[in-house]
Amino acid sequence: MMLRFSQLLLLLLPLSSAALDICPGESDRYYDFKCQHGSTHRICAQLVSDEKTCSPLPWGDNDDLNDNALKLKDFWQLTSPASSTSSASVANDLSSLQRKQMCNSPNSGVHQCIDLWTFSRIIDTVGCDVAVGKHVKCESTDVDFVIARWRDGGKRMEKAIECLEEYCSKKKQKVEKKKSNATKTDSTSEPNISNNEEL
């Protein structure tokens, strides 16, 4: 049986993602705590403020609100179904359970792997600057997979992919530049031994 190029690419992508950092806070649903499993949960996002209180983190700050009447919402409020009393109660229960798993797991932390569809909806609500600029941990997000797999996801995915590409490629360039500068500094700080010196 002959594989199409796109199928072959999807088979190889998990191998290329091995360099991803752990998503600190991701539960043991993925044995390595990395956002590189399945076809959707590839984005490592900060959902809680800190490990001690493990309280939900609002997405944005007051400066991010276009309308003062809007209220900042956390991940679970942004992703819960239509606002009814029962759905708010379910969202609170789910929030509490997920937060306990995040902050009390062997890989405790403030992040979790979230799926691209949810992420796309959040971008529509809070914007790219808040969603990726303040919440996504690029070094733990499988950006290459998301771009390759979801590029043809239509207009809805287009915004999310562009946002990830823009922010995460900038962060990657900064990290690579720092590493390059550190390497240059290390090589220039090595002592010079002249030919005249006895060893």
The model's pLDDT over 19-56, given as tens digits with 9 standing for 90+, comes to 899 999 998 888 899 999 988 899 999 999 998 899 99
- DSSP annotation of 20 reads P
Helical (H) or strand (E) element with 34: none
| Structure-token pair, residue 196 | 């005249």
Per-residue pLDDT, 197:
44
Candidates 29, 13, 32; CA nearest to 146 is: 13
Portion of the chain with pLDDT greater than 70, in percent: 63
- pLDDT digit string (tens) for 85-116? 555 666 677 678 888 888 887 888 999 999 98
* pLDDT at residue 189 is higher than 80: no
pLDDT tens for 126-179 read: 889 999 988 999 999 999 998 888 766 666 688 888 899 889 987 766 666 666
Assess contact for 54 and 103: CB atoms under 8 A: yes
Q: Do the Cβ atoms of 141 and 35 come closer than 8 Å?
A: yes
pLDDT of res. 142: 93
Higher pLDDT pick, 44 / 187: 44
Residue 112: predicted pLDDT? 94
Please choose, from the candidates 68, 57, 73, the residue with its C-alpha nearest in 3D space to the C-alpha of residue 121: 73
42 three-state secondary structure: strand
Cα–chain center distance at 22: 10
